[in-house]
Amino acid sequence: MKEKKKKTFMERFRSFYKGEFLLNIHADEYFVHIIWVFFLAMFMIWAGYKIDNSLTVMERNRAVLEDLEIQYTQRKSELVKLDRISTIQKNLSDLGSDLQLPERPATVIKKKGK
């Protein structure tokens, strides 16, 4: 009966580094399976990368969309304000009033000493 010599850690590491480890466990029989697992792992890494990129683009687009919604709301409120002003002017002219919007902005008077 042969007694197997117990390998030290360094001997095991060297055999793993040289690839003898795979020969010792007869991995050559499973070479196709090992390649298949390698390609599956690479595909999973690639798919994760693509998903991460698409999520990044979605977040960037969501921020742009929020900005555009804010601009839309501001423009809509300005339009409603202008529509209200024109409606008021029309009603005043229909009633025969001489009131109109000022043609130039109001002058601000500043006090001296402040």
pLDDT, one tens digit per residue, over 58-70 is 999 999 999 999 9
- Can you give the pLDDT at residue 3? 62
For the segment 42-57, the average pLDDT, to the nearest whole number, is: 97
Is the per-residue pLDDT at 25 higher than 80?
no
Between 56 and 83, whose confidence is greater?
Answer: 56
CB distance 22 to 28 below 8 Å: yes
Residues 6+ apart with CB under 8 A from 21: 12, 15
For the segment 27-44, the average pLDDT, to the nearest whole number, is: 90
Render 74-105 in DSSP notation, one character per residue: HHHHHHHHHHHHHHHHHHHHHTT------SSP
**How many whole angstroms separate alpha carbon 54 and alpha carbon 56?**
5
Query: Considering the entire predicted model, what is its pTM?
Result: 0.48
Percent of the chain with pLDDT over 90: 38
